[in-house]
Amino acid sequence: MQLKAKYIDMESAEYTAVLNREDALEIGVREQDRVRVKHERSSIVAVVQTTVTVVKKGEVGILGRGYADLGPEPDELIEVVATSKPESIEFIKRKMGGKELTTEEIRTIINDIAAHNLSNIELTAYVTSLYMNGMNLRETADLTQAMVETGEIIKFDRSPVFDFHSIGGCPGNKITLIVVPIVAAAGLLIPKTSSRAISSAAGTSDIVEVFTGVDFDANKLRNIAETTGGALAWGGSVNLAPADDLIIRVEYPLGIDPHAQLLASVMSKKKAVGADFLAIDIPVGAGTKVPSMEQAQAYAKDFVDLGERLGMHVECAITYGEQPVGRAIGPALEAREAIRILEGELHPSSVIEKACGMAGMLLEMGGIKRGEAKAREILMSGKALGKFREIVAAQGGSADIKSTDIQIGEYTHDINAKMCGYVNGIKNKELVALARAAGAPRDKGAGILLHKKRGNRVDDGEAVLTIYADSQAKLDQAIELSRKFNPVTIEGMILQKLPYISRTTVIERTFCPAPSAPQGD
Amino acid sequence: MQLKAKYIDMESAEYTAVLNREDALEIGVREQDRVRVKHERSSIVAVVQTTVTVVKKGEVGILGRGYADLGPEPDELIEVVATSKPESIEFIKRKMGGKELTTEEIRTIINDIAAHNLSNIELTAYVTSLYMNGMNLRETADLTQAMVETGEIIKFDRSPVFDFHSIGGCPGNKITLIVVPIVAAAGLLIPKTSSRAISSAAGTSDIVEVFTGVDFDANKLRNIAETTGGALAWGGSVNLAPADDLIIRVEYPLGIDPHAQLLASVMSKKKAVGADFLAIDIPVGAGTKVPSMEQAQAYAKDFVDLGERLGMHVECAITYGEQPVGRAIGPALEAREAIRILEGELHPSSVIEKACGMAGMLLEMGGIKRGEAKAREILMSGKALGKFREIVAAQGGSADIKSTDIQIGEYTHDINAKMCGYVNGIKNKELVALARAAGAPRDKGAGILLHKKRGNRVDDGEAVLTIYADSQAKLDQAIELSRKFNPVTIEGMILQKLPYISRTTVIERTFCPAPSAPQGD
């Protein structure tokens, strides 16, 4: 049926077509059924919603991105026909039934996801079946490969390609801003793409965006990396393995992240840039994504094995994640802390140690001996700062970026200790909630600065942290929230620091950087 | 935040609030997050969609039913606040993890579903987890009870209450129109509610609606049943166990019907009308919902056991379902066939046998000896017709309804045999697809009339079926479809009828009516 195209400015995770009830009847579809909408040579498959008044008989409303992807003029006649359910649904049901999926079945599912052919309902069934029944390594490798093939694949002018990833879950983890310049300054190619925050206070891209551009297509990313040896780009704009973003949209409200999907999500983005050597940071501990050492080791083993299947050499570091890395949480605060370290500041030491440990792993994979010492040398010599400024400039920022250029939130509030003693607990999730209440990651200046960390002595009335916000209203929100829970606990009874038992362990086939200091920074 | 209410005339399975992007930011929510929308004493929880133009800053759009349920005046100021995820999500994740749910957890999930607190994504995770991990009998009983409690509960002025249910899957199953009047004419109370077609060509309510009203609230249903002893109402309007309809909305696109949910769906509606005795028809065979005898027996056992836990005496009949019951498929055609039998017509015998078999089960549960013979006597004496007319009149139809009053589709097309031989296959799903292509169940006159059934002799060129439609366009659609597949297969090689091996078996604790004739009617 030919219908007049109407743009409806609303977003939904699935492509959605709004039909007048009479036309829907005529076409023979009802809510949640599918129509194919064709315009010139492009076409989309959309889930049907029906209406009596939003669009008139003879019109079809297309929501948000679907309209843009299809590209008709307003009121242009476009063809709308009923279409059958995608084949993927049968394969998803096979996974629901506990079956192993073939390469071809997995590819079909991922292609349908990337083409927006699955509704939220079907996508959720996929994610839930994966969460419940899992995938073996062969399936996971096929999943990764299928995700790679739905997006851009970048070939650089030289090899090998190095890459770095942190699976996240530990706030304040701004080390990418230091790792990438060190590795690039050592002459290795590291075209790093990062994500934005989903549930954290700042993703690496949110931090980098404070002082330079992050939004590049594949060509521009290649150009930046080939020129400078590094990059600090946002993965979303490069269109690497785009099915992943659609899958995350249904994982997020359920708060689930199926093991196989997490593995494929990380590895597909690395495979798409042709990474040969990859270092992965797995923060472990209460309040992170990976609470126990056993789980961390299982992830590490799977990353390494999956890498082997994909022709990628992977090493993992299981790192201490029970308190933030460094002292700053939130885009601008983290940017400032990282740049200060590049400028030669020796504090917070946990950031320096973790960054040099991870960079050192990559240098050793690249054949450079005593990697961590070499990384530290590159950092201390100012070469990392030079490389950082080169990358910032290539991405459109200032070529002489300084930590003092970074604007942090002007509305601040101190949270003071109500007793004296030693800090014995810092709760990651509560700190993130505070930082988000203060406006992070959208308000770049918002966040938290910790003055005290685990094992630090604190006096009654002394500030343990400061909340930063870009507006009084948001600051008030965060203060309000801080009354509900206490992200920093002080135990006055303990008069001595407890002996530290390391949770950072070297595991088989993985390399471990120097453990982050458990006390203070 | 106070926002002006705007009605958006679109339906979505979940309550949906459309916020201007700026307001969403202010409230601190993003797509797929939830807001509570309050108006006077009522409030709803809605899933957020964001927009730049559909609603302006300061406005909130509420979709379809959500607006009606909330009831504000246009532009009235209503309160919109961010709200946390419902507790149910944790319980759904427990079921995803293979755990047994407590009574309280199940009640919380069902309450959240009934209150529209779960999004499509969360509802799908629930249905998928149930499909994959199942529920034990205790959980299923709790699920049933929770579903009962979210809706109307009807108490009649006398007891016991009898009820009847067919789990469906076999086309042409119009026997409810005969069973109910027989049972009511025998002096038993049978306040039957039925459903409309979801994927079939005609639900019982679609058939009854051809000649009388079906749309009653709980009070009116009680009134009809107490006056006449019977009812042929649409369950949807009575608001029995309403969570079920919301669950079906996500089951339908996935084509799944989790065992525990199917059991609870049937039993909750019976429990809600206080049924003491229940007969269940389980059609079995290729092309039905229950392909194998083993599955049918498993269902029968679970229905009986579940009934025991709910204080209901249940008997099941496993019936032959590999070809339609009788010859008519589609609302008006089925109505006419059923009324003709009530008027004394002795054909098709499969309809009479099945109806009297099922009615007989109920009579025996009510203490009437030789139930099936008694049912047949009530039918043949015209008492069933008299009771039927009473019920029709009580529901707003004509008190002297006749089969000749029923209008069937005026556009018809015969499908003729291309060879002579015996009919050896009638495909249920293809027949339903044909009837639906012809317009059923929406077009009341549309459907199929079979002239030949399994084992019948057919000559070359003889009509095997006639398609009926209410419009030439729909008729053409059905004819077009009939070219793609042949719902009736003829095997010329067989010169003798094959010996019949009964697929209808009496199973433990269940009663089986006379088997439907496998050949002809």
A327-375 residue pLDDT tens:
999 999 999 999 999 999 999 999 999 999 999 999 999 999 999 999 9
B227 has a chain A CB within 8 A of its CB? no
- Confidence class of residue B520 from pLDDT cuts 50, 70 and 90? low
Please tell me the predicted confidence (pLDDT) of residue A515: 40
B438 interface with A at CB cutoff 8 Å: no
In this predicted structure, the answer to whether residue B505 has a pLDDT above a threshold of 80 is: no
Q: Is the ipTM of this complex over 0.90?
A: no
- Chain B nearest-CA distance from A501, in A, is 32
- The mean pLDDT value for B401-430 works out to 91
- Tell me, yes or no, if B122 comes closer than 8 A to chain A by beta carbon: yes
Is the Cβ of A125 closer than 8 Å to some Cβ of chain B? yes
What pLDDT digit, counting tens, does each position of B13-47 carry? 678 899 998 888 888 788 778 899 998 888 888 88
Task: Spell out which residues of chain A touch residue B133, defining contact as CB-CB under 8 Å.
Answer: 132
Per-residue pLDDT tens digits for A2-34:
999 999 888 776 788 999 988 888 887 887 788
Give the mutation candidate from B90, B121, B474 for the A interface (greatest A CB count, under 10 A). B121
Give pLDDT, residue A520.
59
- Tell me whether the omega of the peptide bond preceding residue A181 falls within 30 degrees of 0, making it cis: no
Q: Cα angle vertex B54, ends B51, B55, to 5°? A: 85
Chains A, B: CB pairs < 8 Å: 117
d(CA B180, CA B387): 9
Chain B contact for A50, CB < 8 A?
yes
For chain A, say whether B117 makes contact (Cβ under 8 Å). Answer: no
Contact present, A216 and A196 (Cβ < 8 Å): no
Verify whether residue B305 is a known catalytic residue: no
Residue B502 pLDDT class (50, 70, 90 cuts): very low
DSSP letters for A424-455: EEE-HHHHHHHHHHTTTTTSTT-EEEES--TT
Distance, in Å, from the CA atom of A89 to the CA atom of A91, rounded to the nearest integer, reads 5
Residues in chain B with CB shorter than 8 Å from the CB of A256 are: 93, 96
pLDDT tens readout for residues A429-442: 889 989 988 989 98
Report the percentage of chain B scoring pLDDT > 90: 63
- Mean pLDDT computed over A49-72: 88
Tokens of A294: 């056993």
Confidence band of B254 (pLDDT split at 50, 70, 90): confident
A96 inside 8 A of chain B by CB: yes
Decide: A37 and A46 in contact? Cβ < 8 Å. yes
User: Residue B34: closest CA among chain A residues belongs to which residue?
Assistant: A253
Cβ–Cβ contact B198 with A under 8 A: no
| Interface test with chain B among A12, A118, A128, A198, by most B beta carbons within 10 Å | A128
A254, A256, A436, A474: which to substitute to probe chain B, counting the most B Cβ within 10 Å? A254
Burial A369-384 (b: 16+ CB within 10 A, else e): eebbebbbebbeeebb
- Cβ–Cβ below 8 Å for B54 and A10: yes
Distance CA A41, CA B143 (A): 50
Contact list in B for residue A7 (CB cut-off 8 A) is none
B255 at A interface, C-beta within 8 A: yes
Q: What is the reported pLDDT for B513?
A: 43
Q: What is the pTM of this model?
A: 0.80
C-beta of residue B312 within 8 angstroms of C-beta of residue B147: no
The DSSP output letter for A351 is H
Asked if A128 lies within 8 A of B124 by C-beta distance, the reply is: yes
Contact: A133, B132; criterion CB under 8 Å:
yes
Tens digit of each residue's pLDDT (9 = 90 or more) over A91-131: 999 999 999 999 999 999 999 999 888 888 899 999 999 99
| Contact assessment for residue B6 and residue B74, using Cβ atoms and an 8 Å cutoff | yes
Q: Does position B518 have pLDDT exceeding 60, yes or no?
A: no
Which residues of A are annotated as catalytic? 257
| A189-206 mean pLDDT | 92
Burial class, A247, CB count within 10 angstroms (exposed 0-12 / middle 13-18 / buried 19+): buried
Per DSSP, the three-state class of B426 is: strand
Percent helix / strand / coil, chain B, rounded to 5: 40, 20, 40
CB contact under 8 A, A128 and B133: no
- What would the two tokens of residue B226 be? 């107490």
User: Would you say A201 and A440 are in contact if contact means Cβ atoms under 8 Å apart?
Assistant: yes
CB contact under 8 A, B49 and A11: yes
Of A49, A52, A93, the CB nearest to B12: A49
